């Protein structure tokens, strides 16, 4: 079976996942990366072991380079998102099929090379099947809009952005583009932890979003565990 990587987000409680994993530090030309390995599974906490790295400071190039050096053949991202649509309620699990990112990271600097971004269809189907196996209903068609962070968006920004997509977050598209440049298939499982500013009826608080993310983590964990079972 291929070696798979799981990139966990702010709501992903790695303590419940990492039993039996060995901690490693991988040195890359972009910086050192902390990750965990067990057999054919690699886990990378994108915010660091203790969740101290804010979204706009994540070293995506180093992270993806490290996964490539360890031989990852498929990458599954777990992402916390806000909903841009009233119909997509907090608590929903989403498997996006496309994304918007006008300022992506890139490994390409001094060569004429273009790649066509994508979220891998076969991997999205695997996530869909895993969600069904875990008895979770997942929304399988949605557009993810990349935000820079670390702040939430203004209501005016959301009034424009909601026309572009269905959910918004601060990590998925960066990872997906870099993975594509490395020719590593990538797909993501997103939990909707809040309505975006302007969609929500009240104010958004970080504590409420974090509380929802921690609750929704259990859903994401069920799906990822099904993926790992199939990869043994």
Residue 215's domain spans which residues?
Answer: 4-230
Distance CA 126, CA 17 (A): 20
Instruction: Judge whether 72 and 185 are in contact, CB under 8 Å.
Output: no
Q: How far is CA 191 from CA 3, 47, 134, 188, in A?
A: 24, 17, 15, 10
pLDDT above 70: residue 16: no
Of the pLDDT bands very low, low, confident and very high (cuts 50, 70, 90), residue 111 is confident
Stretch 99-118: mean pLDDT: 89
> Using one digit for the tens of pLDDT, what is the confidence trace for 157-179?
999 999 999 999 999 999 999 99
The answer to pTM > 0.75 is yes
Domain count within the chain: 1
**Structure confidence by residue, pLDDT tens digits, 214-226:** 889 889 999 999 9
Q: Which helix (H) or strand (E) holds 60?
A: helix 60-69
pLDDT at 2 over 80: no
Q: What CATH number does the domain containing 73 carry?
A: 3.40.50.1580
Which pLDDT belongs to residue 229?
84
Question: What integer is the mean pLDDT of 7-14?
Answer: 77
């Amino acid at each position: 079976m291929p070696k798979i990587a799981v990139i966990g987000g702010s709501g992903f409680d790695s303590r419940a996942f990492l039993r039996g994993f060995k901690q490693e530090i991988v040195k890359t030309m972009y910086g050192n990366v902390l990750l965990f390995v067990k057999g054919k599974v690699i886990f990378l906490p994108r915010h660091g072991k203790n969740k101290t790295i804010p979204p706009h400071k994540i070293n995506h190039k180093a992270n993806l380079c490290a996964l490539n050096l360890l031989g990852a053949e498929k990458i599954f991202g777990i992402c916390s998102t806000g909903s841009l649509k009233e119909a997509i309620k907090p608590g929903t699990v989403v498997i996006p099929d496309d994304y918007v990112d006008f300022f992506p990271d890139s490994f390409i600097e001094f060569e004429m090379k273009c790649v066509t971004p994508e979220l891998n269809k076969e991997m999205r189907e695997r996530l869909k099947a895993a969600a069904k196996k875990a008895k979770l209903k997942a929304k399988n068609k949605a557009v993810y809009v990349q935000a820079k962070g670390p702040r939430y968006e203004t209501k005016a920004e959301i009034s424009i952005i909601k026309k572009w997509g269905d959910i918004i977050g601060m990590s998925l598209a960066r990872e997906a583009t870099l993975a594509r440049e490395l020719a590593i298939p990538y797909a993501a499982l997103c939990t909707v932890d809040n309505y975006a500013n302007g969609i929500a009826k009240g104010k958004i608080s970080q504590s409420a979003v974090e509380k929802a993310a921690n609750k929704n983590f259990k859903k994401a964990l069920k799906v990822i565990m099904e993926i790992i079972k199939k990869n043994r």
